[in-house]
Every structure is written in structure tokens, then in C-alpha cells.
Amino acid sequence: MKAALQLCWICLFSITSLHLHSQTASKDYTYTIHVGAFVKANLADFEKIRPLGFMYAEVFDNSLLRIYLGDYANEKSAEAVLAKIKTNGYPDAYITRKDLSRGVQKSMIQLGTAAFNDQINWERYALAGPLYVQQVDKSLKIMTGMFDDLEMAQRRLRTIRGGGFKDAFIKNVNEAMLHEVTSFEAGRELQQNTIEAIPDAYEETVTEKGEAPKTEDPIALVEAGTLTEKEATPPPAEAIPQSYDQPIQLQVPRAIPAPAIRKSVKRNSVLELQKVLKKSGAYTSSLDGFYGKGTAAGYERIMQQNSQLRKYSLLAKYTREMNSTTRPGQLQYYINTLAADTRNATKKLEASADPVAKVYLAYVKFVTQGQRREVDDLMNTAIKKAFKGYKGTKVPLDATLDYSYRSLDQLLQHLACVQSISKTAKDLPCWMLRQHPKEAAQAFSGELGLGMQQCDDFVNWQELKLLRTIAADLNPQGVADANKVAAYASDRARYLLSPQKLDILKAEELNNWHIALWNGLDKWAAKEGLHAKLVVPLRVTYFQSMVRLEDYFMTKNIKPKDARHLAIGVLRTMVDQHLNSYSS
């Protein structure tokens, strides 16, 4: 009887496990077929297998294209197609899978549907913007995006429908299921002339109070006709596609474009900007706190009319703030350049015996070759060497254990632990947060005490460059403390690349700093006419920068009030080292 019960429990456990495994496999993974890697490849080269599924390419090693075919809900479906591909001249093809749990839901606009072997008019679809495809069974969902929030997608949808895509609609899609349509997927070069082809009214309907503004009408361009929506909309994060089980390629993160300014969010930063514009005669409308047509035109006008601002604009082109007290050490340099120059930096890491070099080498192998024994060996050896004789308690890692690295999250957490006690390479490279925003933000917490490479090249907007130049020129000491500059650069990178709502105490501290700074500057300006004249360019660029930064954080789904605190945090890192003596 006891043996029979045991057998029943085993059977039940096995059936349940199989059921759960089946659910997990169908839910958490999509399967695709790696056809091969080619120096040059065109869609027309694959006529025999094109009818089997949607074909797409990924750049590898700057010169090779990895060609993939299809998305399949389970491995069995993929195997059936793989057999046909092999018999049609690609015997080395194999199945790979993507972990859908690593993908982020993105708001997309679906433009239409087609079969993957249809003659698709890609030129027409390209009028709507960058194109992406999701394969569902034998059909292709053709979309444009990606949008970081629903509001941005809704604004774009109105424009796209007005441009002829009347049946377009918004849907949320896991980004891991999307494939960008390039010249390879389309089979020809695509000309994307989005804004000219489909004029955009760029409307904004939400205010801080939840009411539509009753002031100025929405306009098509943000800065007096100079900033298009395509330029203003942030691109999707350039993450390393670590979910492929087969070899993949490091990608170089691109700069973050300046976001569009929301014209119907009422805020103090706009009100302060309007005050200085009006006092200078560049703005004649009401002081309403909305960044509408008049405010944009007023800012453009003062930039042209104010001689100090014209001087600083020219100077800003040739000015670059020092970023640290010394040049980065050799190891730190190769870590910083690992994404941009993967091949050379990897060779240098392989030649180093430093534990930090080993954990970054393990990282490269994990994201380019997948989970393997070599990654585990590199990590475990580095951990034991780094923590030999370590007496501290702040690092959440047991160096006596051997680990098996099955996820990027765990590997980055341990990489951060090793680097946090290093004396040779203490800074987290900028590209890490751009490549893996979610995983890196969690792994590289402030508690570990890691520094941050200066990342201003990623966020090098006109207003911020100008503000930095003006603040440095008003520094009574002439030169800022280099250590403070480096510390603030690290803080600034964390604010911008890993934005999170600040706690109450930090928000209050920043707000108090902001008030004290401007109280002090106002007192200084009141003492002499020349001082008042010098403060005007600073006030204009400070509050214009604050508006732009608030919008950047709002694109990251941060509420306006919290975006204000983060914007002040960034501004403090840019001007406090120069202007702290003015604070009252």
C-alpha cells in the first residue's frame, strides 16, 4: 500500500511538472531558426526558404550578418521548419530561443497585417516611421514605435491616422517579439520621410491637475519649428540581446536625443522661465506656466537678442568640463571602451590577472556566447581572488561558494561586488546602464559605493552644454574642485541613466538647495547692475534646462512632481561646483 501511494505521488508530481514545464516553455520563450552568418546577404539570396517564415538579420562583428527565420511558439514547430531549411541547402542551421521574460512591454502602433510571403508595400508603411514586425503564426503584424508611454503613442496615432492609415491602432507588445525592418528585411532600401509625409500636430492633453490647458493652441514643433517629433522621441534602449542562447554581439549605445517639451503640463520651471523672458522683453503673453508657442518663441528670441547668450553659445562649442582628477587607469579605460571597441578591449582583459578584468571578461562571454562552464570558472576564480583576506561586511556575496551563472542579473550583481572592492577600476562604465537599464540599476546599487564614469556624451543637449559653460564662467574661484566635479559626474550619470523616484528626504534636500542658490544669486544681482546682467543668461538656461530634464524624466514614466526633483538633482551636479559660494 505504501509503495503504491509513493508511486501515485511520483506520477502526480511528474505529470504536474510536465504540465508546468509546458506552460512555462510556451509562455516564456519564442523559438527562431539561425540560418547562418554571411559577409554579405540580401533577401533575394534566400528565395528557396523565404516562404517558410519571416526572415530578418542582425549585425555581428561589424561585418557579418546573422540571418534568422521566423518566430515559433514552441520547439516542435521550429523543428518542423528547421528540417525543411536543412534540405534546402542550409545544413548548419539550428534553433535558438529567446527568453520573453527579459523583454519589456512597449506601446506600438499596428499599421496593418500581411502574410510573410506577400509582396508588401514597405515604402508606404515606412511613411509612418521606423517599422517593426511581429510574426504570429503565418501572419505579420506591421507596426511602428517603440513608444515609452501610452500618451506618446496616442499623439502619434492621431498623426498616422491623418496620414492615411485610418485603421491603425495601439497595442502593447513584448519588445523581444519585435524585429526591425531594415533594407535586408524589406529587400530594398527604404526612404523614411516621416515628418514631411505626415505632419504632426503634437498635441498634449494632460496637465498636472488633469485638465487641458485653455491658453495657446498646440503646435507642430517644440522649439519654434526646429525640433521634430522624430528627433525628440527617445529611441529604444540599445540593450545587448542577452536572451539569445546562441552567440550574439555587443552593441554600442547611442546618445539620448533631447525629448519633446510637453506643452500642457503646468509647472514652476516654465513659470520662472516666462518671468525672465518677459522681464527681458522676449515674451509678451501671460505667465501661465505652460510651455506653449509663445514661450518657445520667447526662448528662441532671447537666444538671438541677448549678447551674453550669443557669446556663451559660441563658447559652449569649444568648452568641455574636466571629468576627473586623473586619466583613468589602463584597466578602467578598457572597461569604459568595452562596448565601443569590444575586440581590442577583450584582448586586454584576457591579458590581465586582475579579478575585475576576469569578471568583465566573463560578462562578455556570457552575453556573446551564452551560459557556459568557462563563464562560471572565470567568475568563481575572480571572486575567490578578490575576496581573499577581505574583512568587510557590506558586500552581499559568499566568496567560499562556487556559483553557476544562469542569468545576467546574478552575473551583474557579482560583477558589481567584485568591482566595489577593487582599487584599480572603481567606476561603472556608462554603457552598462544603457545596455542593461533594468538589470544594471538593480545590481549596481548605491550601497556598494561604486563610482560612475562621466556619461555626459550620452546626454549632451544644447541647453545643458550652455548651462555648464555659463556656470563655469561665473565661478569666483575660476576652477572647480576636481574631486567634486568627478563625484557630481557620477551622480549625474545615475540620475540620467537609471532614473528612479527620490525619497522624501532627498527631494527636500534638493529643493532646499535650489531655493538657497537662487536666493543667493538674486541678492548678488541686486548689488550691482552688471551682476544682474550676468545672472540673466544663467537664469534662462537653468530653467530651460530644468524644463527639458523634467520632460526627459516624464518619458521614463515618472510623475511631473517627481521629475522636478530629479531635474534639480541633475542641475545641482552641473552648477553647484561652480556656484556654491552664491547660496544664501
Residue 318, pLDDT > 80, answer: no
CA dihedral 387, 391, 395, 398 (to 10 degrees): 60
Residue 230, pLDDT > 70, answer: no
Q: Dump pLDDT digits (tens) for 454-473.
A: 677 677 788 998 998 899 88
Of 318, 320, 222, nearest to 544 (Cα)?
A: 222
Kindly state the cell numbers that stand for 561: 512632481
Sorting pLDDT into bands at 50, 70 and 90, what band is 240?
Answer: very low
State the Cα–Cα distance between residues 333 and 425, nearest whole angstrom. Answer: 9
Kindly state the cell numbers that stand for 180: 526591425
| Whether the Cβ atoms of residue 578 and residue 474 lie closer than 8 Å to each other | yes
Sorting pLDDT into bands at 50, 70 and 90, what band is 360?
Answer: very high
State the Cα–Cα distance between residues 79 and 511, nearest whole angstrom. Answer: 60
**Range with the largest mean pLDDT of 25-29, 92-96, 213-217:** 92-96
| Longest CA–CA separation in the chain, Å | 100
Kindly state the cell numbers that stand for 318: 569649444
State the Cα–Cα distance between residues 526 and 515, nearest whole angstrom. Answer: 17
Place of cell 572603481: 426
Of 191, 173, 179, nearest to 53 (Cα)?
A: 179
Residue 106, pLDDT > 50, answer: yes
* CB-based contacts of 73, cutoff 8 Å, min separation 6: 26, 30, 31
SS3 382: helix
- Read off the pLDDT of each residue in 435-449 and give the average, rounded to a whole number: 68
Kindly state the cell numbers that stand for 281: 522683453
Q: Dump pLDDT digits (tens) for 468-493.
A: 889 988 988 877 787 788 788 878 88
Kindly state the cell numbers that stand for 150: 501610452
SS3 134: strand
State the Cα–Cα distance between residues 538 and 309, nearest whole angstrom. Answer: 9
Neighbours of 171 (CB within 10 A): 14
Of 436, 454, 447, nearest to 494 (Cα)?
A: 454
| Whether the Cβ atoms of residue 548 and residue 259 lie closer than 8 Å to each other | yes
Q: What is the pLDDT at residue 326?
A: 40
Residue 235, pLDDT > 80, answer: no
Of 352, 317, 312, nearest to 335 (Cα)?
A: 352
- Gyration radius (Cα) of the chain, Å: 27
The single-letter code of the amino acid at 223 is E
Q: What is the 3-state secondary structure (H, E, C) of 253-304?
A: CCCCCCCCCCCCCCCHHHHHHHHHHHHCCCCCCCCCCCCCHHHHHHHHHHHH
Could you tell me the CA-to-CA distances from 506 to 422, 446, 452, 566, 579 in Å, in that order? 28, 14, 20, 10, 20
Average pLDDT, rounded, for the chain? 79
Q: Which of 240-249, 308-317, 444-453, 494-503 has the lowest mean pLDDT?
A: 240-249
Q: What is the pLDDT at residue 525?
A: 92
Sorting pLDDT into bands at 50, 70 and 90, what band is 295?
Answer: very high
Kindly state the cell numbers that stand for 482: 576636481
CA dihedral 539, 544, 547, 549 (to 10 degrees): -100
- Read off the pLDDT of each residue in 354-360 and give the average, rounded to a whole number: 94
Q: Dump pLDDT digits (tens) for 267-293.
A: 999 999 999 999 999 999 999 999 999
| Whether the Cβ atoms of residue 209 and residue 289 lie closer than 8 Å to each other | no
- Read off the pLDDT of each residue in 124-132 and give the average, rounded to a whole number: 87
* CB-based contacts of 519, cutoff 8 Å, min separation 6: 583, 584
Q: What is the pLDDT at residue 286?
A: 92
- Read off the pLDDT of each residue in 60-83 and give the average, rounded to a whole number: 84
State the Cα–Cα distance between residues 572 and 553, nearest whole angstrom. Answer: 16
Kindly state the cell numbers that stand for 122: 514597405
Place of cell 583576506: 389
Share of the chain above pLDDT 70, in %: 78
Please state whether 478 falls in left (phi above 0), alpha (psi between -120 and 50) or beta: left
Neighbours of 120 (CB within 10 A): 20
CA dihedral 548, 550, 556, 560 (to 10 degrees): -150
State the Cα–Cα distance between residues 308 and 532, nearest whole angstrom. Answer: 12
- Read off the pLDDT of each residue in 384-401 and give the average, rounded to a whole number: 83
Sorting pLDDT into bands at 50, 70 and 90, what band is 63?
Answer: low
Residue 199, pLDDT > 80, answer: no
